[in-house]
Structure 1
């Protein structure tokens, strides 16, 4: 997901430089949404991994 967010961010930058502001805004919006979904997923899996490690170790 982070890969797609970076791709859309690059598309937004290139489109912005070429003057395609509508496409640049849409691509930047999609990149922002994908990035925040990635961050939320990362935090969820980080918490699950931490709880699983504590459960396995017995503490």
Structure 2
């Protein structure tokens, strides 16, 4: 099982390295900005569908 805090940190690191805001990821993936923030801060573990949307965007 992948640690949700680690996963969130990696998503945030990737987003920042590509120069995207949480809002841009939100619009492109059709996931709420609050949900993106919660994932990045380790409060939620994303579903496979959500993680897939984020990965495809990146």
Same fold by TM-score, threshold 0.5 exceeded? no
Instruction: Pick 1 or 2: higher relative contact order, CA cutoff 8 A, min separation 6.
Output: 2
State the TM-score bracket (shorter-chain normalisation). Answer: 0.3 to 0.5
Structure showing the higher helix proportion among its residues: 1
TM-score by length of 1: 0.37
Name the TM-score, length of structure 2 as normaliser: 0.37
Max Rg structure? 1
